[in-house]
Amino acid sequence: MSFFDWDERFSVGVTEIDDQHKRLVALLNELYEAMYSGQGREALGHVLAGLVGYAGTHFAAEERLMRLHRYPEAAGHKDKHDKMAAHVTELRERFDAGAIASPVQISNFLKGWLSRHIMETDRRFGAFLNEKGVR
């Protein structure tokens, strides 16, 4: 049972980006599985740490491709990355300080953000890269 089922509608058509998105989805599913087994609070710190680190790696990879291929919407896309990275970092800090008790709210937020970002922002970027021959 998974929380976020990856399917081809989430594919942006660029293997590197799709593989990274799949890793982010796996982190969300890890949190869900822990919640389902009654270990959500314990898993939340690990998952948030993983998201902070991996999101930074993923965002940097996308932004490298944006610079390399002169993506015209790079500034706006990067701004969305920066806001999300700051938000996830804030969630992690709040969790570490004991101010967040419910992994359900965080997992729902992360799933919504990731799916919207992929469908609305990254798919446009993927189409641009595909036009440049990047797969």
Lowest-pLDDT range of 57-61, 105-109, 112-116: 105-109
Question: According to the model, what pLDDT value does residue 1 have?
Answer: 66
Instruction: Say if residue 114's pLDDT is above 80.
Output: yes
Q: What is the pLDDT of residue 60?
A: 95
The pLDDT value recorded for residue 40 is 74
Q: What is the pLDDT of residue 97?
A: 87
Mean pLDDT of the chain: 89
Q: What's the rounded mean pLDDT across residues 26-45?
A: 82
* Residue pLDDT, tens place only, 50-74: 878 888 899 999 999 999 999 999 9
Query: Tell me, what amino acid is at 99?
Result: A
Q: Are 15 and 23 in contact (CB under 8 A)?
A: no
In sign, the C-alpha dihedral spanning 74, 4, 55, 17 is negative
Tokens for 51, please give them.
């998201």
Q: How far apart (Å, rounded) are the C-alpha atoms in residues 135 and 126?
A: 9
Which amino acid belongs to residue 107?
A: S
State the Cα–Cα distance between residues 55 and 20, nearest whole angstrom: 9
CATH no., domain 20-131: 1.20.120.50
**Which of 40, 36, 56 lies closest to 106, judged by CA?**
40
**Nearest alpha-carbon partner for 52 in 98, 92, 109, 10:** 92
**So where are the chain's domains?**
20-131
Q: Answer whether residue 101 shows pLDDT above 70.
A: no
Confidence check: pLDDT of 127 > 90: yes
